[in-house]
Amino acid sequence: MKSDKELKGISKYLSYVLRHHPESIGLVLDEQGWADIDALLVKCAAKNVLFEREDLALLVAQNDKQRFAIDTAQNKIRANQGHSIRIDAALEPQLPPEVLYHGTATRFLPAILEQGLLKQNRLHVHLSHEIGTARNVGTRHGVPVVLQIDAAAMQREGFIFYLSENKVWLTEQVPAKYIRYEE
């Protein structure tokens, strides 16, 4: 069994592979982003990233961000969201809460307040229904700031929202007019 530190390293590696570059290890994902676990283990081992099926199950079960899901047959794994590669996660449009939050770093604030939130190289902008979660995300990028998003107004005006398996709210973009920031 791997240590917590080793599992964290594997989680980061799997995020890279399953969300952005499966081809980097010769892995093929299906249309919904699922990868065969046996193939993943073999391909990772070939890159000297060694772990067992049990380590993978523990990593998925204990990951506080619930980045990954294993299918009910225990044969496939996928990243829940954050992809830069095109997949069909089979998400259905959802009615968002009135307010959602986005955590970022203060250095990005001027561009965001001018241009809004853009998905950049990902498929969606990520939003949270909790201020604390948004603050934690912002902390990863520098001095954190939490932006308040008027999701109800966006939805009324035709923007579509999705809710990932791990409860991250997703949308294509957030125009600046829906963003509030209080110093």
CATH number of the structural domain spanning residue 109: 3.20.170.30
Phi, psi of 151 (to 5 degrees): -65, -35
Note whether residue 86 is domain-resident: no
Domain endpoint, select from 79, 105, 124: 79
Helix, strand, coil % in the chain, rounded to nearest 5? 40, 20, 40
Q: Is the dihedral of CA 86, 88, 91, 92 positive or negative?
A: positive
Quick check: 18 and 78 in contact, CB under 8 A? yes
Which pTM value belongs to this model?
A: 0.66
Whether 123 and 74 share a structural domain:
no
Q: For 142, left (φ over 0), alpha (ψ -120 to 50), or beta?
A: left
Give me the count of residues in the chain.
183
pLDDT bracket for residue 67 (50, 70, 90): confident
Whether 66 and 128 share a structural domain:
no
Whether 70 and 114 share a structural domain:
no
Note whether residue 88 is domain-resident: no
Count of structural domains, the chain: 2
Note whether residue 130 is domain-resident: yes
Domain endpoint, select from 18, 53, 79: 79
User: Strand runs (DSSP E) across 73-183, as ranges?
Assistant: 76-79, 93-94, 99-105, 117-118, 125-127, 144-150, 161-163, 169-171, 173-174, 179-180
> What does the pLDDT average to over 65-84?
85
Q: For the CA atoms of 162, 19, 136, 183, what is the dihedral angle to 10 degrees?
A: -70
How far, in Å, are 13, 27, 82, 115 from residue 68 at the CA level?
A: 12, 16, 11, 31
Under DSSP, the state recorded for 142 is S
pLDDT, tens digit (0-9, with 9 covering 90-100), for 156-168: 999 999 998 778 8
Range of 25's domain?
A: 4-79
| Both tokens assigned to 38 | 């046996």
Note whether residue 125 is domain-resident: yes
Whether 33 and 68 share a structural domain:
yes
Q: Render the burial of 53-89: b for 16+ CB within 10 Å, e for the rest.
A: eebbebbbeebebbbbbbeeeeebbbbbbbbebebeb
pLDDT, tens digit (0-9, with 9 covering 90-100), for 82-133: 777 777 667 789 999 999 999 999 999 999 999 999 988 777 899 999 999 9
Whether 71 and 105 share a structural domain:
no
Q: Say which CATH number the domain at 48 has.
A: 1.10.10.970
Whether 110 and 163 share a structural domain:
yes
Whether 103 and 172 share a structural domain:
yes
Q: Which helix (H) or strand (E) covers residue 84, if one does? A: none
pLDDT bracket for residue 66 (50, 70, 90): confident
pLDDT of residue 183: 66
